[in-house]
Amino acid sequence: MAAFMDKDFLLTTDVARKLYHEVAAGLPVIDYHSHLQQGEIAERKRFRNIAELWLGGDHYKWRLMRTAGVPEEYCTGERSDREKFDAFCRVLPLAIGNPIYHWSHLELRRIFGIDLIINEKNADAIWEQANAKLATMDTWAFLEQAKVEIACTTDDPADDLLQHAEIAASALKTRVLPAYRPDKAMRINNPGFVEYVARLADVAGMQIDSFAGLIAALAKRVAFFHERGGRISDHAIDIALPTVAATDEQLEAMFAKRMAGELLSDTEQAQYLRGLLQRIGAVYAEFDWTMCFHIGAMRNNNQRMLDTLGPDTGFDSISDMTTSNGLVALLSSLDANKQLPQTMLFNLNPAMNEVLSTMIGNFQDGSVAGKVQFGPAWWFNDHKVGNLAQLVAFANHSVLGIFVGMVTDSRSFASYPRHDYFRRLVCRQLGEWVEGGEYPDDFDALATVVRGICYDNAKKYFKL
């Protein structure tokens, strides 16, 4: 029986162990999609204790705690940091099989050098030892300890990126780059849409009185981001796209309707989103950017808790919407006009693994390895089974050796051990294929694949 999370954790074969320890373990990290706050990096934030670090904004942990019967006051409420930490330690042992159990122990070991099991009995010792180490660390220390070479934040087109400029001029070894996330321009029925358009117009220094004007302002901000190192955009696709695109006239009418204070129908919202993505996708192609789509989330499902706590607090789930026809139509339309940028498709519904891993093959043109990529296991798929399923689907239908690998997709500076978790699973899967006689025991060839997935491919693909 293997010891709990020993040095060979998740590594089931000799080949896997050799690949991980000799190749994967020491590679730098390129985190091309995260939700780290640029301000917390610029100001070199320090965390007052491990509760703030672990529970201060982590909706994964809040969701786990609620499910285990912990009252909200210990998650997002008024209880003290220590009381919240103790509540987490008390219920985590119940979460056998949950990736948070593994991630939390990896963080404890990799960041703090603490080998204790997280439970109620060890809460005092973990609290004292972790807080002593935190007193010597700021956000830069987390990035440098994890060997993060590049970290991309998630930024609104209207952001001034001034804190990014501060970071770029600092002595931080990690390159912190902006990534372009125009959600507020995409979600046309959101209450603040009209006000947002006014803000975007002000920042872009131009009038926005039409849909064409909105696209022009967004394009101007793409150029602004590009000058400051931005090379990646990100879009949440939470509704099914239509197979037939709206005309310019229809898009202008929909934009005018919303700016006049009226809401769009569900059909109109989908048509608007498709029109925006098609036009901004062409802009990304012009700047040689990568366009990322995160597909299939049902967000903020509990209206009572949305009203109480706001969005992104742990009340999201997987959607079973069908997106394939509309998504293909969008990509094909861009491709037909030679305006399809490098594109990455992330799915939240694991039932779409084969859908997207086959879809990417429709739009490869030889210009770059994996021009259209099947993104890594994301959010509710980011666990052992989900990561392995994504790797197998990618391998079954594409060329696994060109995969650009893992992202944290996290707001937490403690999340970087997830890359270690992912790298162990990559080595595990390759090792099992070799052990089963499905691939030769060629260390050099295998090492090339591992280095590519864990580091090299992302650096080339995103031109970082």
Q: How many other CB atoms are found less than 10 A from the CB of residue 430?
A: 27
Q: Are 85 and 130 in contact (CB under 8 A)?
A: no
- Tens digit of each residue's pLDDT (9 = 90 or more) over 413-427: 999 999 999 999 999
- Residue closest to 280 by CA, chosen among 266, 270, 294, 292: 292
Q: In the structure, what pLDDT confidence band is assigned to residue 321 with cuts at 50, 70 and 90?
A: confident
Number of neighbouring beta carbons within 10 Å of residue 358: 15
The per-residue pLDDT for range 288-300, each reduced to its tens digit, is 999 999 999 999 9
Give CA separation, 44 vs 133, 137, 182, 217, 345, in Å: 16, 9, 27, 32, 33
Cα 219 to Cα 121, 223, 383: the distances in Å are 55, 6, 37
pLDDT of residue 383: 97
> What distance in Å separates the CA atoms of residue 382 and residue 387, rounded to the nearest whole number?
6
Q: Can you list the domains of the chain with their CATH numbers?
A: 14-43+141-461 (3.20.20.140), 46-137 (1.10.2020.10)
Whether the per-residue pLDDT at 2 is higher than 90: the answer is no
Chain center to CA of 60: 14
In this prediction, residue 323 has a pLDDT band, given cuts at 50, 70 and 90, of: confident
Name the one residue in this structure whose structure tokens are 């006051």: 73
- Secondary structure (3-state) at 217: helix
Handedness of CA 453, 454, 458, 459 (dihedral sign): negative
328: amino acid identity, one letter: V
Quick: pLDDT tens for 330-387.
999 999 999 999 999 999 999 999 999 999 999 999 999 999 999 999 999 999 999 9
The position carrying tokens 């609290």 is 127
Task: Place 322 in a pLDDT band, splitting at 50, 70 and 90.
Answer: confident
Task: Output the pTM of the full model.
Answer: 0.96
Please state, in angstroms and as integers, the Cα–Cα distance from residue 177 to each residue in 226, 251, 305, 373, 379, following that order. Answer: 10, 32, 33, 21, 22
CA distances from 75 to 57, 80, 211 (A): 9, 10, 42
